[in-house]
Amino acid sequence: MQRRLIHPLSPASSDQPQADRSDGQPRSQRPGGPHSLPGCMRSGAPVHDAQALTDGGSVAHITLNDQLYVLRITRAGKLILTK
């Protein structure tokens, strides 16, 4: 099974090349190609695979400041984070 890396703010449902706001070129025609990492991922922040967080399941529990959050992977492959 091949995984696609999709930036959370980009439209995932379109097979059309998406234009970059800065230069207007489709991503496939820009240096680095269509699979280069988005700027937010090049910042050095950690990247976590959702499947690894859920141990291959569909639910993970995450805590922050004594608050419990639930991360769910839907059947459609989307992520939902709830309190």
In a domain? residue 9: no
Query: What pTM was estimated for this model as a whole?
Result: 0.51
The DSSP output letter for 2 is -
In a domain? residue 74: yes
Residue by residue, pLDDT tens for the chain (83 residues) are: 445 555 455 444 445 555 555 556 555 555 555 556 667 667 788 889 999 999 999 999 999 999 999 999 999 999 999 99
In a domain? residue 55: yes
How many domains would you assign to the chain?
1
Q: Which domain holds residue 76?
A: 27-82
In a domain? residue 40: yes
In a domain? residue 46: yes
**What local confidence, expressed as pLDDT, does residue 8 receive?**
53
In a domain? residue 56: yes
